[in-house]
Structure 1
Amino acid sequence: MTLEDLKPKVKSIVTQHSTSVDERLYKICELLEANIEYYSWVGFYFRNGEKEELKLGPYVGEPTDHTIIPFGKGICGQVAVSNANFVVPDVTAQDNYIACSITVKAEIVVPIFLNGENIGQIDIDSNTPDPFTEADERFLEFVCAEVANILD
């Protein structure tokens, strides 16, 4: 299934108003992890209230100890500060990388904006070296925009 084929499925999940926000976010994680071969771990992190940290939300993949990430720490923490997408083709080349699993080779993090404010992000780990393209970035920006609709 192509990234374009997944867009209507994401929209369908987002509009399931009888389902809780966390359930819809989890379904999006499941959809992406199951249908994109090189997405090994898919999850959401959100700002933890007024604190300068991220808190893990729904995710699919190996369990992680990284349920709280301070702003600036790791790839997710850097995106919380920069407000910009961060594509890491090789996690071993990143000084500020927080290792979740020895099998992870690459990571992509895209922020979620609500009313112009960075409120969270989608985080994708891959066990495939350098798999992410500009198409992944654009698709995940679409996903994040749809997620913002749930949270508005």
Structure 2
Amino acid sequence: MTFEELKPKVTQIISNTSFSRDEKLLKICELLEQNISYYTWVGFYFANQETKTLHLGPYVGAATDHTVIPFGKGICGQVAVSNQNFVVPDVAAQDNYIACSFTVKSEIVVPLFVNGENIGQIDIDSHVLNPFTVADERFLEFVNSEVAKLY
């Protein structure tokens, strides 16, 4: 399914009043993981500004020990500080990478803004080297703009 075909499905999930916020986030993770072949782990992390940590929210994919990540550590922690998208074509080439699984080859993290504040991010791992393009970034920015409506 193309990104353009997925957009209305994301919007439909967000606007469905019968789901809780976490159920909506999980359904978005499932939608992306099931319909984009190279998305093998899809999840949300949310920032705690007081403790300067990210906390794992709904996700699909292999279980992870990384349920709390300090700002600045790993790809997700760097995005919490930089407020910028981070595309990692090859995780083996990154010095500040937290390995979740030896099968992960690449990662993309896009910050989630609500009223100009970075409250979290969507994090996607892939078992494929260098699959992410600018189109992925724009699509995930769209997803996060929809998710922001929940906050």
- TM score, norm. by length of structure 1: 0.98
Describe the superposition over 1:21-75 as per-residue Cα deviations: whole angstroms up to 9, x where unpaired.
Answer: 0000000000000000000000000013622000000000000000000000000
Describe the superposition over 1:105-124 as per-residue Cα deviations: whole angstroms up to 9, x where unpaired.
Answer: 00000000000000000000
1:93 and 2:93 correspond: yes
Question: How far apart, in 2, do the equivalents of 1:49 and 1:93 lie?
Answer: 29
Question: How far apart, in 1, do the equivalents of 2:82 and 2:134 lie?
Answer: 19
Query: Which range is displaced more, 22-31 or 41-50?
Result: 41-50
Give the corresponding residue for 2:109: 109
List gaps (5 residues or longer) in structure 1.
none
Identity %: 74
Cα distance 1:49–1:79, how it changes in 2: closer, same or farther (>3 A)? closer
Give the corresponding residue for 2:44: 44
Per the alignment, in what secondary structure is the counterpart of residue 12 of structure 1? Answer: helix
Which aligned runs of 4 or more in structure 1 are off by greater than 6 angstroms? none
* Superposed counterparts of 1:11-90, under 5 Å: 11-48=11-48, 50-90=50-90
Letter in 2 for 1:136: D
Structure 1 residue 127: Cα displacement: 0.2
Question: How far apart, in 2, do the equivalents of 1:121 and 1:97 lie?
Answer: 16
Letter in 1 for 2:134: E
Q: How many pairs does the alignment contain?
A: 151
List gaps (5 residues or longer) in structure 2.
none
Structure 1 residue 17: Cα displacement: 1.8
- TM score, norm. by length of structure 2: 0.99
